[in-house]
């Protein structure tokens, strides 16, 4: 009897300690590209976008999350250019492709910085030629996607001054901004079957494609309109009947979570605030510890997303005026990926 | 005829990139129908369907969703509600993934063999064994590397109560010889 009890005690103690050390092999090897830009040239600097990227890097490379620092590229401020992004995606894509089974990996792309959506006339500080381009660029209207227009996030070296024509604006965007189509092409280079993109920028909801599902929250969120309407139902039926697919926007093979809708701003805490992050990223960083709604030890993208939505609606939107309210958006397919392990 | 019932099913969910998982699915439905002399039944109504998420322990899960359904059905019960019959049902589902604002639509085709039994008064019960095909664009069943069927399939069991507004005739009736 004593031997049996001793054996059981050894087994129990061994089980308690078996979780220490290396991450159990229940999640595939992870790769990531993280960009955070707070310092810009011609446009206003942000407070904490670089902090956001650093904190996301620290979270992913923590022992609980299991990303190797060798598999994660982080670029901040002056390092974060369009040319560098092209290089980084090519490097990570090659590393993944060189593995014996590239599909059995996971990939995360994160961006924090300025974003903008075509067709929006809310950046009154931009020179007139930029307003002309964004307001009159008919070619950028897209037939599908949660984004009605081509949307961008700006890299560090974008320059808005001294451009003489809308053609010059288009060239500058191609040089120093990442459009939704550009990101879709970059993501297609990655052979991981689990791809997650996170964008903490204004108008970022326009990066989401809706090949199989629609977003029932309108592109401009004002605190209402989160229910399902008859129009939403008819739109969902139309999308199914049309069988929409294409290269525009991020396709359903990448789960994408954005800080705000296509016609919304996202915000960061004020300079000198106790929390030195963007609001969406702040709650995303809390989600490993607070978002496991089914207590299974994992936080999926939809669980993390739901936590950020609840938190922002409860704690941040009440202090914002109607049209300034924002809510994160999610684009997904029939599969939900694990984003974090609960520490 | 008023119809109220429920289904429980196991759905084989598979994205083309991932291994399949069984997802539990249940539904409640309500509707109206009519039975014709040759044993045909036509019915339609509304319902709700709930699918629970699979485990995320392998790094991914098939998410849970809740669907609002509309359905139409054609069935065969036999001229006098024989014990065995069958039915074909078409559903339209508006499904929202858990914890998101996403909404998608897909149709379902379901075939079921049914067993009927009398209840009290003008009502009878039905036990069904359905096989259904959810014609979804975000899932697809493959064998090896070959895609064999878009969407997902399920098998299950259903139970329903049918309340007729006219007397229910079951089995054979004795007739007196005419003079």
According to DSSP, residue A23 is labeled P
Which residue carries 């950046």 as its tokens?
A123
pLDDT in tens, chain A (343 residues): 444 444 444 333 333 333 333 344 478 899 999 999 999 988 889 999 999 999 999 999 999 998 999 999 999 999 999 999 999 999 999 999 999 999 999 999 999 999 987 656 555 577 888 878 877 655 455 544 445 667 889 999 999 888 888 889 889 999 999 998 899 899 999 999 889 999 999 988 888 876 677 777 777 777 765 567 788 888 888 878 876 554 445 766 788 899 998 888 888 988 887 888 999 999 999 999 999 988 888 999 999 999 999 999 899 888 888 778 888 998 877 788 889 999 9
Cα dihedral: A292, A293, A297, A302 (round 10): -60
What does residue A73 show for φ and ψ, rounded to 5 degrees?
A: -105, 130
Q: CA of A28: which chain B residue's CA is closest?
A: B59
CA distances in angstroms from A102 to A31, A60, A87, B103, B139, listed in the order given: 11, 20, 19, 31, 21
Using a CB-CB distance cutoff of 8 angstroms, which residues of chain A are in contact with residue B106? 240
Answer yes or no: do B99 and A226 touch at CB < 8 A.
no
Residues forming a β-bridge with B129: B113
Mutation pick from B12, B16, B105, B106 vs chain A, by most beta carbons of A within 10 Å, is: B105
CB within 8 Å of chain A, chain B residues 51-90:
53, 55-63
Query: How high is the ipTM of this complex?
Result: 0.80
The token pair at B29 is 């439905």
Residue-level pLDDT at A147: 53
What does residue A312 show for φ and ψ, rounded to 5 degrees?
A: -65, -40
Cα angle for residues B145, B147, B153 (degrees, 5° grid): 125
Q: How much is the average pLDDT of B15-35?
A: 88
Using a CB-CB distance cutoff of 8 angstroms, which residues of chain B are in contact with residue A237? 92, 94, 105
How many angstroms separate the CA atoms of A74 and A88, rounded?
9
How many angstroms separate the CA atoms of B102 and A258, rounded?
14
The sign of the torsion formed by the CA atoms of B71, B72, B77, B80 equals: positive
Q: Are A240 and B137 in contact (CB under 8 A)?
A: yes
The token pair at A261 is 């809708």
Q: How much is the average pLDDT of B41-59?
A: 89
Residue-level pLDDT at B179: 54
To the nearest whole percent, how much of chain B has pLDDT over 90? Answer: 39
Round the average pLDDT of chain B to a whole number and report it. 85
Banded pLDDT at B170 (limits 50, 70, 90): low
Residue-level pLDDT at A21: 35
Complete edge-to-edge strand list for the sheet that includes strand A254-258: A72-76, A29-36, A105-112, A194-200, A254-258, A329-331
Choose among B76, B108, B111, B77: nearest CA to B95. B108
């Amino acid at each position: 009897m004593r031997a049996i009890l001793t054996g059981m005690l050894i087994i129990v103690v061994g089980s308690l300690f078996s979780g220490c050390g290396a991450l159990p092999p229940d999640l595939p090897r992870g790769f990531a590209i993280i960009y955070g830009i707070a310092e810009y040239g011609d446009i206003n600097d942000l407070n904490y976008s670089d902090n956001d990227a650093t904190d996301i890097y620290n979270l992913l490379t923590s022992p609980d999350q299991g990303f190797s620092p060798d598999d994660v590229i982080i670029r901040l401020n002056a390092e974060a250019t369009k040319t560098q992004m092209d290089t980084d995606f090519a490097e990570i894509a090659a590393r993944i492709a060189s593995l014996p089974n590239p599909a059995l990996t996971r990939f995360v792309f994160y961006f924090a910085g300025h974003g903008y959506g075509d067709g929006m006339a809310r950046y009154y500080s931009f020179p007139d030629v930029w307003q002309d381009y964004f307001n009159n660029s008919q070619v950028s209207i897209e037939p599908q996607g949660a984004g009605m227009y081509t949307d961008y996030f700006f890299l560090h070296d974008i320059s808005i001054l001294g451009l003489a024509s809308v053609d010059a604006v288009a060239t500058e965007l191609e040089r120093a901004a990442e459009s939704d189509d550009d990101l879709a092409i970059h993501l297609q280079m990655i052979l991981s079957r689990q791809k997650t993109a996170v964008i903490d920028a204004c108008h970022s909801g326009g990066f989401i494609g809706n090949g199989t599902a629609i977003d029932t929250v309108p592109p401009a969120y004002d605190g209402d309109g989160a229910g399902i309407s008859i129009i939403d139902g008819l739109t969902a039926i139309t999308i199914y009947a049309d069988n929409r697919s294409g290269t525009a926007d991020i396709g359903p093979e990448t789960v994408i979570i954005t800080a705000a809708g296509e016609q919304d701003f996202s915000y960061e805490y004020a300079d000198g605030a106790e929390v030195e992050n963007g609001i969406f990223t702040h709650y995303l960083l809390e989600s490993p510890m607070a978002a496991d709604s089914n207590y299974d030890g994992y936080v999926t993208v939809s669980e993390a997303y739901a936590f950020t939505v609840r938190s922002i609606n409860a704690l941040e939107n009440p202090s914002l005026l109607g049209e300034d309210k924002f809510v994160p958006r999610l684009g997904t397919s029939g599969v939900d990926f694990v984003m974090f392990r609960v520490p | 005829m008023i119809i109220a019932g429920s289904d429980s099913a196991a759905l084989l969910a598979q994205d083309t990139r991932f291994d399949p998982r069984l997802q539990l699915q249940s539904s409640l439905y309500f509707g109206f129908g009519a039975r014709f002399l040759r044993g045909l039944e036509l019915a339609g109504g509304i319902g709700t369907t709930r699918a629970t998420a699979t485990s995320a322990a392998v790094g991914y899960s098939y998410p849970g969703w809740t669907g609002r359904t509309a359905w139409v059905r054609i069935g065969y019960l036999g001229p006098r509600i024989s014990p065995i019959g069958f039915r074909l049902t078409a559903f339209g589902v508006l499904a929202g993934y858990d914890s998101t604002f996403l909404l998608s639509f897909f149709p379902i085709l379901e075939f079921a063999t049914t067993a009927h039994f009398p209840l009290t008064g003008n009502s009878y019960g039905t036990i069904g064994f359905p096989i259904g095909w959810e014609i979804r664009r975000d899932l697809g069943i493959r064998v090896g590397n070959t895609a064999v069927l878009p969407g997902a399939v399920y098998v299950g069991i259903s139970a329903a109560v049918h309340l007729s507004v006219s007397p229910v005739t079951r089995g054979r009736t004795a007739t007196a010889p005419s003079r």
